[in-house]
Every structure is written in structure tokens, then in C-alpha cells.
Structure 1
């Protein structure tokens, strides 16, 4: 079994320093979040399921050089994932965007956007070619 090749790794920062027990990591196809010391919770999101990437920076975060990346996904167990107090947040957001788009192209995922609260979120069409 081969080791994971990480594209990016960081920790949630407290006062700009990586001293928390929250770790984030990115591979070619997944984003991982590990929270806790004695009792640990592990979350992961397949990149092709990410629908929207946002960035939030409070005044305090700006002073400390960090930001929070907010990911909206079609993953049922993790519909919203916040990467809190990340160093170089804008650069990481752009890296995530690039990886998400690469995974959607690689998996031939087509995302349809619908109006209304109860409409389907994703229209995933992997093996079927649509003719106009």
C-alpha cells in the first residue's frame, strides 16, 4: 500500500500559530480534516463533489495573516466544511479550485444548477454522452 501524496497540509491556527489539534490535508482527489487529540474525528470530501468555495477573513484574521475557507459540497455526511484559520488562505483557495476542476474533468462530472429549494443539487453523468 503506497503512502498518500499530499499536495497541501496545514493546521488550524491559534493566534497565527499552528498549535491546534485540527489538521487539514489535500491529495489529488480528496480533502481530509482531522480534529481532536484523545478522541479524533476524521472527515473527507471527494473533490469532485465540491460545489462552491468561499473565503472569509475577519479583521483579526487579516492581522494574523490567516483566513477561513468555506466549502459547500454534495457530500451527504459533510455538506459544509470550514477550513478555519488557514495560512495563505487565498492561495489555498485557488489551489483547491484548481484541483476540484481537474477532478471534475477527470471524472467527466457535469454539474447542473437548479432553482428552488427541493431541486436536485448535482447532475452527475459519468458514462453517458448527451446529444443536443
Structure 2
């Protein structure tokens, strides 16, 4: 089976609405100040430049779900690329703050046993329910294929004598 891309996305710019609003208010303030002191107009480059930079930084964040891994790419000049194998995914949850729900967005939170990426947040994306379900199906496929099982170790029992307790909660990955 060759690796296929199942989903690809970037955070929505809705994530930055507060920053854009601040940049707009500062630009308006500079514009009004420029009426009385025309050299102040040159300062408009600051809020406009900051807003453009914020846009580009958010746009440079890319997430990809393939049939085998989650790939995280970020960075404008220096890129950081990180892959997390799907069998290492332990749990997922979804957050939908009010402002995101207004725009049909959500944040998918993924807990993993990967040391470099123990928690992944895929922020402000559309159709989060389908993304989460697609991820869940692929994780189950790879766990079955690699024969990976989640086992819970009761830390209090381990400290008292090393007893193992499996209550169905995902705590550690055993390969």
C-alpha cells in the first residue's frame, strides 16, 4: 500500500482576527495623527507590516494526514518538518470555542506517545469531525497492523509492589 494524503490543511486566518483588529486600530490612530503631523503617515508601515507578517506566518503552517503519518510543517525562512506515525496516536479531542463555531471551525488535539510531539494541536480547521474520524480509522488500522496495544500502568500500585492494572485507559504504548 503506497502512502496517500487523506487531508491537508492550514489554520484559518480567523485565528488572527484579534491581531488584525489591533493592527487596524493602530493604523487608524496613525492615520488620524497624520492629519495633524503628516510625517506620522510613514509609521503606517508598522501595523500593516505586522498584519502581513501575521498572515504569512499562519499561512506557512501546514498539517497533513496521510495513510501512515501526521506531518507538521511550519516556518517561513527556516522550516521545521515533523512526522508522527499514526500508531503512536493515543487519544484525540476536539475544542470548539464560540468564535470558531461562528465560522465552522474547530481545533483537533492529538495526544501521542511520540517524544518530539507528545501533543499536536491542529488549530482553526474546517470539518474537524470528519478529520477526527478519518484519523481514528487510520490509527486503528495501523495499531492492528503493527499489533500495538495501549496498556495502563497504575502508578500507585507500581510503587507499592509493581501490580499491573488494565482499566482500558490509554496511558502507555507497548509494541
* TM-score normalised to structure 1 length: 0.82
Question: Does residue 29 of structure 1 match 2:63?
Answer: no
**2:98 counterpart residue number:** 59
Find the counterpart in structure 2 of residue 87 from structure 1: 126
Would you say the 8 A contact 1:12–1:21 is kept in 2?
no
Q: Deviations over 1:56-98 (max 9, x none)?
A: 1100110111111001110011101111111101110111111
- Report the number of matched residues: 121
Structure 1 residue runs of 5 or longer lacking an equivalent are 125-132
Larger Rg: 2
Q: CA deviation at 1:41?
A: 1.2
**Secondary structure of 1:111's aligned partner:** strand
RMSD: 2.3
Structure 2 portions without partners, runs of 5+: 16-54, 159-170
Q: Which residue of 2 aligns with 1:74?
A: 113
Q: Which residue of 2 aligns with 1:12?
A: 11
Contact between 1:21 and 1:37, CA under 8 Å: does it hold in 2?
yes
- Is 1:123 the counterpart of 2:174? The answer is yes
Q: How many Å apart are 1:4 and its aligned residue?
A: 5.0
The TM-score normalised by the length of structure 2 is 0.63
SS of 1:100's equivalent in the other structure is helix
For the residue of structure 2 that corresponds to 1:7, the secondary structure is strand
More strand by share: 1
Runs of at least 4 residues off by over 3 Å: none
